[in-house]
A and B are shown apart, each in its own frame.
Chain A
């Protein structure tokens, strides 16, 4: 059974960047896609984008185009999400999740524990 382990909480200044990792602690990504979803405090789930590791092809939500970069390292079964030009509205819990398919469409059957990113001056 796949377990996704994310990097720890981050506190960042406005205008800076943050890079969150997501490692498959048990199992590998194999041919599955990995997606990134965030949740601002008290708000709903928001899709940011995803990647198909075996092809290293990423797909981004229009809202985050130009600010987010999703990559993967198959050798370590780790995916990364980097968000730049941070602002206070980016304060949220960021989740990675495995797609049951090899495309970034859902459903997402395994989720990381979440990484809290706080943007504050």
Chain B
């Protein structure tokens, strides 16, 4: 089955740029979606189809995808961005939705 690998944690100071990676075999050929989840809340879609931003999501959130790595980039990080972030793809070979293990973003 298809596996998505994320770093367990990423730390960044306020105002700096956070980059959260999502690794998978030839992930560049798939559409990657990113979700933000704060404690006790349901996930929120922050980036879809590699780099599209849903309505209401700040421009500070962006995504890219190439080769074996997709990246969620958050610029000018704020304290309110502290959350768990998950990448997600659809694996056509198994017809299954796959989530990465999640990355905890800590704002120092």
Any chain A CB within 8 A of the CB of B96?
yes
How far, in whole Å, are A110 and B90 apart by their CA atoms in the complex?
18
Cβ–Cβ < 8 Å partners of B54 in chain A: 109
Cβ of A105 < 8 Å from any Cβ of B?
A: yes
Q: Which residues of A contact B37 (CB under 8 A)?
A: 45
Chain B residues with CB under 8 Å of A108's CB are 33, 35, 43, 45, 88
Residues of B within 8 A of A17 (CB): none
* Contact-size category for A: 20 to 34
Q: How many A-B Cβ pairs are below 8 Å? A: 63
Contact indicator B97/A47 (Cβ below 8 Å): yes
Size class of the contact patch on chain B: 20 to 34
Decide yes or no whether A53 CB sits under 8 A from chain B: no
- The listed residue with most A CB atoms (<10 A of its CB), out of B1, B54, B89, B95, is B95
User: How far is A13 from B102 in the complex, measured between Cα atoms in Å?
Assistant: 30
Report chain A residues within 8 Å CB of B97.
35, 47, 50, 61, 104-106
Given known contacts A105-B90, A106-B90, A46 and B43 CB-to-CB distance under 8 angstroms? no
Say whether B90 contacts A46, CB under 8 Å: no
Q: Is the CB of A95 within 8 A of B102?
A: no
Tell whether, in the assembled complex, residue B95 and residue A59 are in contact, meaning their CB atoms are under 8 Å apart: yes
Q: What's the minimum C-beta distance from B51 to chain A, rounded to whole angstroms?
A: 12
Which residues of B lie under 8 Å from residue A106 when comparing CB positions? Answer: 31, 33, 48, 88-90, 97
9-residue interface stretch from A69-77, A82-90, A111-119: A111-119
Given contacts A100-B48, A107-B88, A109-B54, contact A45 B35 (CB under 8 A): yes
Does A62 have its Cβ within 8 Å of any Cβ on chain B?
A: yes
The 10 nearest A-B residue pairs measured at CB? A105-B90, A107-B33, A111-B42, A107-B48, A47-B97, A44-B102, A45-B99, A106-B33, A44-B101, A109-B45
Write the residues of chain B forming the contact surface with A, with a CB cutoff of 8 angstroms. 1, 31, 33, 35, 37, 42-45, 48-49, 54, 84, 86, 88-90, 94-102
